[in-house]
């Protein structure tokens, strides 16, 4: 691929809706020879020639569902890490099961490679990610599987909420520990700041104060009140007193 974001949609349609020759051409053109494929129901691994197993997966996929409706709804490309993220919506219908339709949404993660010799992008691995409520539609169609999964998820959510209340003392202990750590870090910062100022000369202190105040603090009227408190140094309109 010269431009993964622009080219990937056509590649997906060739793989899922194309003729057998178009599928083979897409595999040989856009997949690296050792490309891998990972799906909840199957995986190929990566070795020299493994893309031929990917071709077999897509051909069997097309045999099971001769008519596939598919749409790439979003594309994101991490150019630095060479990862392409696709959100795909498809309607998978088993040809041998009347009225069977399985609308699912998945995220396909494509890791790409870009050999310097060609400068083109190749698919190094494909990983199809499904929510459990989507994946189970392949195993228990007609809404049965997804309904069971949603019921289980709601039950698990209630269990999490109840257990969080039962073990609330552990949460309080964790928060108390975090608060103590934050107070300790704040105290250490104060000690470092105190040491920094106590080890500074009068001139350095004046320069810091002058930089913080923008150079004019209107302190001329305070000079007389500082007399007799220690050694004094005057810098412009500022007086710094170092105790005796």
Look up the CATH number of the domain holding residue 84: 3.10.450.50
Please tell me the pTM assigned to this model: 0.69
Within this chain, do residues 216 and 175 fall inside the same structural domain, yes or no? Answer: no
**What is the pLDDT, as a whole number, of residue 138?**
79
Q: Is the pLDDT of residue 197 over 50?
A: yes
**What is the pLDDT, as a whole number, of residue 101?**
83
Beta strands in 79-212 (DSSP E): 83-92, 102-113, 122-130
- What is the average pLDDT across 107-135? 93
**What is the pLDDT, as a whole number, of residue 21?**
96
Within this chain, do residues 50 and 98 fall inside the same structural domain, yes or no? Answer: yes
Within this chain, do residues 82 and 124 fall inside the same structural domain, yes or no? Answer: yes
More confident residue, 19 or 116: 19
Query: Rounded to 5 degrees, what are φ and ψ at 227?
Result: -65, 140
**What is the pLDDT, as a whole number, of residue 44?**
97
Within this chain, do residues 22 and 126 fall inside the same structural domain, yes or no? Answer: yes
Last residue of a domain, one of 130, 159, 183: 130
In our burial notation (b when 16+ CB lie closer than 10 A, e otherwise), range 50-67 reads: bbebbbebbeebbeebee
Task: Compute the mean pLDDT over every residue in the chain, rounded to the nearest whole number.
Answer: 84
**33-73 pLDDT per residue, tens:** 999 999 998 999 999 999 999 999 999 999 988 888 999 99
Within this chain, do residues 16 and 122 fall inside the same structural domain, yes or no? Answer: yes
Q: Which of 60, 41, 12 is nearest to 134 (CA)?
A: 41
**What is the pLDDT, as a whole number, of residue 217?**
47
**What is the pLDDT, as a whole number, of residue 102?**
86
Range of the domain at 223: 201-244
**141-155 pLDDT per residue, tens:** 778 888 999 999 999
Is residue 141 classed as helix, strand or coil in its secondary structure? coil
**Structural domains counted in the chain:** 3
Q: Is the pLDDT of residue 225 over 50?
A: no
What dihedral angle (degrees, nearest 10) is formed by the CA atoms of 181, 187, 193, 197?
-160
More confident residue, 135 or 82: 82
- What is the average pLDDT across 92-105? 81
pLDDT band at residue 133 under the 50/70/90 scheme:
confident
- What is the average pLDDT across 129-158? 88
């Amino acid at each position: 691929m010269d431009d993964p974001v622009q080219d990937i949609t056509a590649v997906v349609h060739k793989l899922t809706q194309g003729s057998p020759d178009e599928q083979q051409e897409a595999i040989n053109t856009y997949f690296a020879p050792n490309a891998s494929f990972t799906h909840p129901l199957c995986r190929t691994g990566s070795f020299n020639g493994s893309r031929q197993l990917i071709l077999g997966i897509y051909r069997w996929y097309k045999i099971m569902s001769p008519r596939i409706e598919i749409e790439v709804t979003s594309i994101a490309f991490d150019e630095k890490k060479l990862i392409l993220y696709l959100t795909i919506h498809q309607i998978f219908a088993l040809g041998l099961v009347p009225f069977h339709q399985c609308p699912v949404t998945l995220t396909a993660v494509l890791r790409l490679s870009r050999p310097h010799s060609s400068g083109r992008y190749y698919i190094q691995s494909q990983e199809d990610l499904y929510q459990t409520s989507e994946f189970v539609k392949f195993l228990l169609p007609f809404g049965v599987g997804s309904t069971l999964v949603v019921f289980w998820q709601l039950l698990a959510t209630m269990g999490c909420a109840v257990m969080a209340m039962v073990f609330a003392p552990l949460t309080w202990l964790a928060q108390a520990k975090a608060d103590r750590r934050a107070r300790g870090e704040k105290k250490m910062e104060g000690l470092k700041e105190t040491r920094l100022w106590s080890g500074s000369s009068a001139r350095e202190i004046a320069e810091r104060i002058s930089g913080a105040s923008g150079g004019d603090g209107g302190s001329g009227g305070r000079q007389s009140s500082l007399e007799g408190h220690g050694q004094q140094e005057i810098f412009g309109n500022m007086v710094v007193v170092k105790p005796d």
